[in-house]
Structure 1
Amino acid sequence: MTTTKRFLVEAAARNNAEWCAVMSRTHGVRGTFGREAWTAAVRTPPYYPDAVTLAPESDAAGLLARIDAEAPGASVKDSFADLDLTPAGFRVLCDARWIHRPAGAPAGAPELAWDVVRAPGALRAWALAWDGGAGDADLFRPELLDDPATFVLAGRTADGRVTAGAVASRSERVLGISNVFASDGGAAAAWPGVLHTAHRLFPGLPVVGYEHGEDLAAAVRHGFEAIGPLRIWLRS
């Protein structure tokens, strides 16, 4: 990995940990940032890890000592895919890639009208569209709107319905994008609007995130580069 990619991966990992910390706080869980990792001593919200490593070759034993690693459901985002948590009863849930797109406007114009969600009712409509009937819309709570570094982006049809969206998390050096969705066409259909909105809000910030599978391929088609591996571990 080149020095530039190493810097970008570290910036993306930090940004993602900050987003996980924000989401956890809205559920009453407060984590701790250390030199090697962000960790939460109690279980975080669904789909969010109990730890995110911030530096390569983190101390696995020390990391697991700071989370509830014994109970099923414990999870770790191994930001550099260099830990072995198998001896502690964890298995690999998925492998993914950090992605990076330089600052700059994307080509073409989005079909939907995009804005930043400002009110609890609008957030609820966004969450229901994101959830698609799976029963997890309550994950996104109104307290999320109070965080100054978090921007919930909504793509709306002419009649005002939310049919696409994402979450943008601003940090010092990068803008992290997560939870990209579109009701029709999946993440690939959402990226033009997400990137246009990100550029309008923060024109000087490069965009980072992580994806895998078809969503990774879609991100690459929209100007992203895969810059490094990450791995998510789960204790069954």
Structure 2
Amino acid sequence: MINDELLTAAVRNNAAWCAGMCAAHGLTTTTGPRAWASPRRTPLYYPDAVSLTADATAADVVTDIDLTAPGASVKDSYARLDLAPEGFRPLFDATWIGRPAGTTADPGPAWTRADTPEALAAWAHAWSGGDADEAALFRPALLDDPAVTLLTVPGPDGRILGGAVLSTGAGATGVSNLFAADGTDPAAVWAAALAAADPALPVVGYESGDDLTAALAAGLTELGPLRVWLAP
């Protein structure tokens, strides 16, 4: 039952973070009983719709998004939908992860908030590996969102060793966009993120591949699969 509750929190927290990112780009989104959606194309890497319940249907996730422009995407939160008849193809699979509230976290390395436009720009540059188009995803409007913390792990020389986004929503703290610079152990960044999270709330997110391995090593648990679908 605990994992079911964590999974629900993970799904809804992620939809709230997607809504926050869209808001930072000036987009208005909607949340229904079974799906979150944006009627306009969402920012890079963010879905146009997210299923919120296991019984969501294809109609729930495609009805309120723009299918006339290329590149529509859907996060199938329970990996149960067949969107091929709607013209979508699977893009990637991942795994929801979580940690219950009240879990004691190690202190971890020192961390700071990227809470100024200049610090945000440096954070985004490090996260993107210097790709200006990707870095532009993180707009200064995010600094006005009280639910969002842009966490930075600084090095002694001022270089950014890693970072993550912590987003509060649906009664949980979501960890996303976690990155470690070359030569930095992702375990150190996870330790900082978990230490920064409110211990009264569960920690949730999703990962795949080596990133999933690192999250599980940090003490999070697999909650269930998800799938992202993409239209031509």
Q: TM-score, normalised by structure 1?
A: 0.92
The aligned counterpart of 1:126 is 123
Q: How does 1:67-82 map to 2 (within 5 A)?
A: 67-82=65-80
The aligned counterpart of 1:197 is 196
Gaps of at least 5 residues in structure 2 are: none
The aligned counterpart of 2:54 is 56
The aligned counterpart of 1:225 is 221
Q: How does 1:1-236 map to 2 (within 5 A)?
A: 3-103=1-101, 104-107=103-106, 109-110=108-109, 113-135=110-132, 136-184=134-182, 185=184, 187-198=186-197, 202-236=198-232
In the aligned structure 2, how far is the partner of 1:147 from the partner of 1:109?
A: 25
The Cα of 1:159 is off from its aligned counterpart by 3.0
In the aligned structure 1, how far is the partner of 2:58 from the partner of 2:43?
A: 22
Q: Is the 8 A contact 2:6 2:202 kept in 1?
A: no
User: 84-93 or 129-138, which moves further after superposition?
Assistant: 129-138
Task: Give 3-state SS (helix, strand or coil) of 1:152's partner.
Answer: strand
In the aligned structure 2, how far is the partner of 1:171 from the partner of 1:160?
A: 31
In the aligned structure 2, how far is the partner of 1:50 from the partner of 1:186?
A: 33
Gaps of at least 5 residues in structure 1 are: none
> CA separation of 1:22/1:109 partners in 2, compared to 1, >3 Å: closer, same or farther?
closer
**1:163-220 deviation line (CA, Å, top 9, x unaligned):** 210000112421100000011246444211211222xxx1211110000111111111
Q: Is the 8 A contact 1:115 1:197 kept in 2?
A: no
In the aligned structure 2, how far is the partner of 1:84 from the partner of 1:69?
A: 16
Please list every run of at least 4 consecutive aligned residues from structure 1 whose deviation after the TM superposition is greater than 6 angstroms.
Answer: none
